[in-house]
Amino acid sequence: MKRIAPLGALAAALAVWWAVSTQTSPLLLPSPADVAEAAWTDRARLAEATWNTALASLAGLGIASVFGVGGAVAFLRVRWLEAGFYPLALLLQTVPIIAIAPLLVVWLGYGTPVAVTAAAIVCFFPILTAGNLGLRSADPAEVELMRLYGASWFQELRLLRWWAGLPYLLTGYRTAVGLAVIGAIVGEFVGSNGQPASLGNLVLRSAGAANTGLTFAAIGASTLVALVLFGAVRLAEARLIGRWHSGSRS
């Protein structure tokens, strides 16, 4: 049922989409067949744009991981850093990325760096928050026991806190991977001039040309990228924490 139910829901959604599209103009809502035809006709450009957006999302996620996980470890080690910098991280999260993106163009110029930076900004806070909470979730009795045995702070982090916090961190990544794609596309909306090809720029150009079939195809491709990244996180959960933690089965 876990596999049949999603397929049934997808089939029902496609049926509703097709039924509604027959009652409207293709310029407003293309049918699934129109989207498939547009995707096949422009498959080379769509594939290149999807690849570039996926790379930008991954690069942004990687940068956010370095600063997010590193920040969580620093907050654990030096308590006053959390008091000083956590509010700033929260402030960064509350600023809409669409408001920051034009400034990124001014600072970085047009191109992929804007998409990468935008992706890093939006997925930084979930990783930082999940990592900070996870590292502090270790059982106090186990922490005290390691200290009684003379474990160093790094040993405590590596052997206890990291594994206690891993389920929390992976849960944060479930959110972060989707946000990375959103951030990359928003960055491409503002900071892409079409070189290299990207899904954000492709959506803008196709919508401007009233090619709604290709617009929907590009949106679908961005969704596919997010789903693949989410699936990779779920696979990492299965490999790293398996069935010993309830979060891996949720």
Domains and CATH numbers, the chain: 35-249 (1.10.3720.10)
Say what the pLDDT of residue 82 is: 87
Per-residue pLDDT of the chain (250 residues; tens, 9 = 90+): 667 887 888 889 989 989 998 888 888 899 999 999 999 999 999 999 999 999 999 999 999 999 999 999 999 999 888 888 988 888 888 888 988 989 999 999 899 999 999 999 999 999 999 999 999 999 999 999 999 999 999 999 999 999 999 999 999 999 999 999 999 999 999 988 888 899 999 999 999 898 999 999 999 999 999 999 999 999 999 888 876 665 555 4
Tell me what pLDDT residue 186 has.
Answer: 95
How many helices and strands, by DSSP H and E, does the chain display? Answer: 11, 0
Distance between CA atoms of residues 222 and 131, nearest Å: 27
pLDDT of residue 243: 64
The CA dihedral of 16, 221, 210, 32, to the nearest 10 degrees, is -30
CB 166 within 8 A of CB 131: no
Residue 178's pLDDT is 95
